[in-house]
Amino acid sequence: MFEETFVEELATRIGSRVEIATDNNFIEGILSTVTEELVLVIEVSNGYGSSTIMYIAVDAINFVRFPVAA
């Protein structure tokens, strides 16, 4: 059901809405790309299509939450 490693599991969830916490940041967005060292999240800031691309080091991630779709 779940992959053996953290990165492998994240890779199976590309396209999901995520909340990612690091020591000092909390990022909400769409999980876009996962590599061994980096996670790319597209943070949608408003309803007009503008978005921010955030690169997060895998080693810095405290947790990744996958909220239940409303």
Q: Which residues bind another protein (CB under 8 A)?
A: 1-10, 21-24, 26, 36, 59, 61-68
Shortest reach from residue 28's CB to another protein, in Å: 12
Please state, as a whole number, how many other Cβ atoms lie within 10 Å of the Cβ of residue 51. Answer: 14
Give the residue with the Cβ less far from another protein, 12 or 45. Answer: 12
> Which residues, 6 or more positions from 1, have their beta carbon under 8 angstroms from its beta carbon?
none
Give the residue with the Cβ less far from another protein, 52 or 65. Answer: 65
**Whole-angstrom Cα Rg for the chain:** 12
Shortest reach from residue 50's CB to another protein, in Å: 26
β-sheet bridge partners, residue 17: 30
